């Protein structure tokens, strides 16, 4: 998954990686986020921060969509 270091992914189970990937892809597709550049990096970092909290997949997806809508492409300003 672009934007998430391999060592972070290595510490996760296959189920956790699958959940992160589904949320990541859903948000990328829904908001037409390019698969390279700052937007994708910020989304990946956000997902990893949120993932540390006890959330189910639906809650993580809602958090990611809210994050993206709040920043609405203005990721460079919040870096």
pLDDT in tens, 37-77: 888 888 888 888 888 777 788 998 999 999 888 876 555 44
What's the confidence (pLDDT) of residue 41? Answer: 86
Provide the residue range defining the domain that includes 53.
33-74
- Domain membership of residue 25 (yes or no) is no
- The three-point CA angle 54-52-25 to 5° equals 95
- Domain membership of residue 67 (yes or no) is yes
For residue 24, pLDDT over 60 is answered with yes
- Domain membership of residue 69 (yes or no) is yes
What's the confidence (pLDDT) of residue 48? Answer: 84
- Domain membership of residue 27 (yes or no) is no
Q: Is 21 exposed, middle or buried (0-12, 13-18, 19+ CB in 10 A)?
A: middle
The model's confidence at residue 79, banded by pLDDT at 50, 70 and 90, is very low
Torsion angle (degrees, nearest 10) of CA 36, 38, 42, 44: 10
- Domain membership of residue 8 (yes or no) is no
Section 20-47 average pLDDT: 89
- The three-point CA angle 47-38-11 to 5° equals 35
pTM over 0.85: no
- Domain membership of residue 63 (yes or no) is yes
């Amino acid at each position: 998954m672009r934007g998430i270091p391999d060592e972070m992914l290595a510490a996760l189970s296959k189920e956790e990686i699958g959940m992160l990937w589904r949320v990541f892809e859903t948000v990328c597709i829904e908001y037409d986020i390019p698969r390279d550049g700052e937007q994708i990096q910020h989304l990946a970092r956000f997902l990893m921060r949120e993932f540390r909290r006890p959330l189910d997949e639906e809650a993580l997806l809602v958090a990611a969509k809210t994050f993206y809508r709040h920043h609405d492409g203005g990721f460079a300003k919040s870096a």
